[in-house]
Structure 1
Amino acid sequence: MRAEAEREDLLAQLSSASQRMEDVFRQAPAFMCVFTGPEHVFELENERYLQLVGGRSSIGVPLREALPEIANQGFIELLDGVYRTGEPVFGTDVPVMLQRRPNAPLERRFVDYVYMPMRDPAGQVTGILVHGIDVTDRKLAEIELYESRERFQKIVSQAATGVVQMDPEGRITLVNQKYCDLVQRTEAELLGASVLDVTAPDSLPVTQEAVQRLAAGEAGVVIEKEYLRCDGSCIPATSSVNALRGPNGEFQGLVAIVVDTTESRRAAEKLRASEERYRTLFESVDQGFCILEMIFDEQERPVDYRFLEMNPMFEVHTGLRDAVGKTAKELIPTLDDFWFETYGRVATTGEPVRFENPAPAMERWFDVYATRLGGPDSRRVALLFSDITARKQSEETLRKLATDLEEADRRKTEFLATLAHELRNPLAPIRSGLSVMRLNSDNPASVARVREMMERQVSHMVHLIDDLLDIARISGGKLELKKERADLRSVLSSAVETSLPLIETGHHELSVDVPEHGVPAEVDVTRIAQVVANLLNNAAKYTPSGGRIGLSLRVEGQEAVVAVSDNGIGIPPDALTSVFDMFSQVGQHLARSQGGLGIGLSLVRRLVDMHGGSVSAASGGPQTGSTFTVRLPLASGVQDTLLHAAPDASDGALGGIRILVVDDNVDAATTLSMILEACGYLTQVAHDGMAALAAADAFRPQLAFLDIGMPGMDGYDTARAMRKLEGLEDMTLVALTGWGAESDRQKSSEAGFDRHLTKPVQLDVVQDLLAKLGT
Structure 2
Amino acid sequence: GQIDGILVFAYEVTTQVQARHQAEDAARQLAEVNQQLDSSNEELAATNEELLASNEEFLANNTELGRTQQALRQLNEELEARVEARSREVQAALREAQQQREQLRTQQRLLSQILGQVPAAIATLTGPEHRYSFFNDNYLALTGGRAQLSRPVAETLPELVQQGFIKLLDQVQATGQPHVGTEAPLQLRDAATGQFVQRYIDFVYQPIFDDQGRVQNIMAFLVDATDKVLARREADQQRGLLHTLFMDAPAPIAILDGPSYVYQLVNPAYQQIFPSRALAGRPVFEALPELVGTAVPGLLHNVYTTGEPFVTQELPLELARHDGDVLQLLFFNFTYQPRYNASGQIDGILVFAYEVTEQVRARQAVEDNRQQALALADELALTNQRLRRTNTDLDTFVYTASHDLKSPIANLEGLITA
Name the TM tier (shorter chain).
0.5 to 0.7
1:262 is aligned, of 226, 229, 232, to 226
Gaps of 5+ in 1: 1-143, 296-303, 445-775
Q: Could you list the per-position Cα deviations for residues 491-532 of structure 1 after superposition, in whole angstroms to 9, with x for gaps in the alignment?
A: xxxxxxxxxxxxxxxxxxxxxxxxxxxxxxxxxxxxxxxxxx
1:307 to 255, 260, 263: 263
Does the CA-based 8 Å contact 1:200-1:228 persist in structure 2?
no
- Do the aligned residues in 1 keep the contact of 2:206 with 2:218 (CA within 8 Å)? yes
- Conserved? CA contact 1:244–1:251, under 8 Å: yes
CA distance in structure 2 between the partners assigned to 1:377 and 1:279 by the alignment: 21
What is the CA distance between 1:334 and its match in structure 2? 3.1
The 1-side partners of 2:389 and 2:113 are apart by: 112
The residue number in structure 1 matching 2:213 is 249
- 1:181 maps to what in 2? 141
**Rounded Cα–Cα distance in structure 2 between residues aligned with 1:404 and 1:251:** 96
> CA shift at 1:343, angstroms?
0.7
Confirm whether residue 318 of structure 1 aligns to residue 274 of structure 2. Answer: yes
Which of 370, 383, 397 aligns to 1:402? It is 370
Structural mapping, 1:140-179, within 5 Å: 149=110, 153-154=113-114, 156-168=115-127, 169-179=129-139
User: What displacement does 1:442 show?
Assistant: 4.3
Partner of 2:170: 212
Give 2:389's match in structure 1, choosing from 417, 421, 426: 421
The alpha-carbon deviation at position 354 of structure 1 amounts to: 1.0
Q: CA-to-partner distance for each residue in 1:144-181, whole Å, 9 max, x for gaps?
A: 979x84x7544x33433211221122111212222222
- Counterpart of 1:427, as a letter, is D
Query: CA–CA distance in 2 between the matches of 1:243 and 1:294?
Result: 41
Distance (Å, rounded) in 2 between the aligned partners of 1:420 and 1:206 = 108
CA apart distance, 1:384: 1.4
In structure 2, what is the Cα distance between the partners aligned to 1:198 and 1:260?
A: 19
Q: Which has the larger radius of gyration?
A: 1
* CA shift digits 1:558-580 (9 cap, x unpaired): xxxxxxxxxxxxxxxxxxxxxxx
1:705-724 equivalence runs, <5 A: none
Amino acid at match of 1:262: T
Q: Is the Cα–Cα contact under 8 Å of residues 206 and 225 in structure 1 kept in the other structure?
A: no
CA positional deviation for 1:241: 2.1
- Counterpart CA distance in 2 for 1:225 and 1:430 is 117
2:177 is paired with a residue of what secondary structure? coil
Q: For the Cα contact (< 8 Å) 1:199–1:226, is it kept in 2? A: no
Give SS of 1:259's match: strand
Deviation at 1:217, TM superposition (A): 2.6
Give deviations 1:535-558, integer Å, cap 9, x for gaps.
Answer: xxxxxxxxxxxxxxxxxxxxxxxx
2:315–2:333 CA contact under 8 A, matched in 1: yes
Deviations 1:390-427 (A, max 9, x none): 22222222222222233333333333333323322222
What is residue 350 of structure 1 aligned with on the other side? 307
1:289 Cα offset (Å): 1.9
Cα distance, 1:214 vs structure 2 = 0.8
Residue aligning to 1:227: 188
The structure in which a higher percent of residues are helix is 2
Q: Deviation of residue 386 (structure 1)? A: 1.9
8 Å contact from structure 2 (residues 185, 199) kept in 1: yes
Instruction: Write out aligned runs for 1:636-651 (5 A).
Output: none
TM-score, length of structure 1 as denominator length:
0.34
Query: Residues 645-689 of structure 1, C-alpha deviation per residue, up to 9 Å, x if partnerless?
Result: xxxxxxxxxxxxxxxxxxxxxxxxxxxxxxxxxxxxxxxxxxxxx
2:317 is the counterpart of 1:359: yes
Amino acid at match of 1:365: F
SS in 2 for 1:256: strand
Aligned residue runs from structure 1 range 643-662, under 5 A: none
Q: For residues 404-553 of structure 1, what are the structure 2 equivalents within 5 Å?
A: 404-438=372-406, 442=410
Q: Which amino acid is the alignment partner of residue 278 of structure 2?
A: D
Structure 1 residue 284: Cα displacement = 0.3
**1:368 and 2:354 are equivalent in the alignment:** no
SS, match of residue 319 in structure 2? helix
CA distance in 2, matches of 1:200, 1:164: 17
What letter corresponds to residue 230 of structure 2 in structure 1?
Answer: R
| Aligned 8 A contact 2:261 2:349 in 1 | no
| Alignment RMSD | 3.1
- Correspondence for 1:236: 199
> 2:124–2:135: 8 Å Cα contact kept in structure 1?
yes
For structure 2, the residue ranges without an aligned partner over 5 or more in a row are 1-105, 321-327, 413-418
Name the aligned partner's letter for residue 334 of structure 1: E
Of residues 247, 259, 268, the one that matches 1:283 is 247
Q: Report the identity percentage.
A: 15
Q: CA deviation at 1:293?
A: 4.2
**Superposition map of 1:50-199 within 5 A:** 149=110, 153-154=113-114, 156-168=115-127, 169-185=129-145, 190-199=148-157
Q: Distance in 2 between matches of 1:320 and 1:200?
A: 60
Query: 1:196·1:204 contact (CA, 8 Å) conserved in 2?
Result: no
* Pair 1:348–1:268, CA change in 2 (3 A): closer
Work out the CA distance in 1 between the residues paired with 2:392 and 2:315. Answer: 54
* 1:330 to 1:429, Cα distance in 2 relative to 1, 3 A: same
- Asked if 1:271 corresponds to 2:225, the answer is no
Local SS of the residue matching 2:164: helix
Q: Is the 8 Å Cα contact of residues 320 and 331 (structure 1) preserved in structure 2?
A: no
Instruction: Say if 1:293 and 1:306, in contact at 8 Å, map to a contact too.
Output: yes
Matches of 1:228 and 1:197, distance apart in 2:
13
* Cα distance change of structure 1 residues 171 and 288 upon mapping to structure 2, 3 Å threshold: same
Question: 2:233, 2:395 → 1: CA distance?
Answer: 95
Shift of 1:285: 0.6
2:354 matched to 1:386? yes
Q: Deviations over 1:237-288 (max 9, x none)?
A: 3133222222332111222222223323432332232123112102201122
- Cα distance change of structure 1 residues 383 and 203 upon mapping to structure 2, 3 Å threshold: farther
CA distance in 1, matches of 2:258, 2:221: 40
Deviations 1:83-120 (A, max 9, x none): xxxxxxxxxxxxxxxxxxxxxxxxxxxxxxxxxxxxxx
Q: Do the aligned partners of residues 266 and 214 (structure 1) sit closer, same or farther apart at CA in structure 2, a change above 3 Å counting?
A: same
Distance 2:242 2:263 in 1: 19
1:501-650 to 2 correspondences below 5 Å:
none
Shift of 1:316: 0.2
Q: How far 1:372 moved relative to its partner?
A: 2.0
SS at match of 1:160: coil
Distance 1:338 1:315 in 2: 21
- Please give the TM-score of this superposition, normalised by the length of structure 2: 0.61
Structure 1 residue 317: deviation in Å? 2.0
| Distance in 2 between residues matched to 1:259 and 1:217, nearest whole Å | 22
Q: How far apart, CA to CA, are the structure 2 residues paired with 1:396 and 1:153? A: 82
CA distance 1:431–1:177, change in 2 (3 Å): farther
Q: Is contact 2:123–2:136 with CA below 8 Å preserved after alignment?
A: yes
Pick closer, same or farther for the CA change 1:403–1:247 going to 2, 3 Å.
Answer: farther
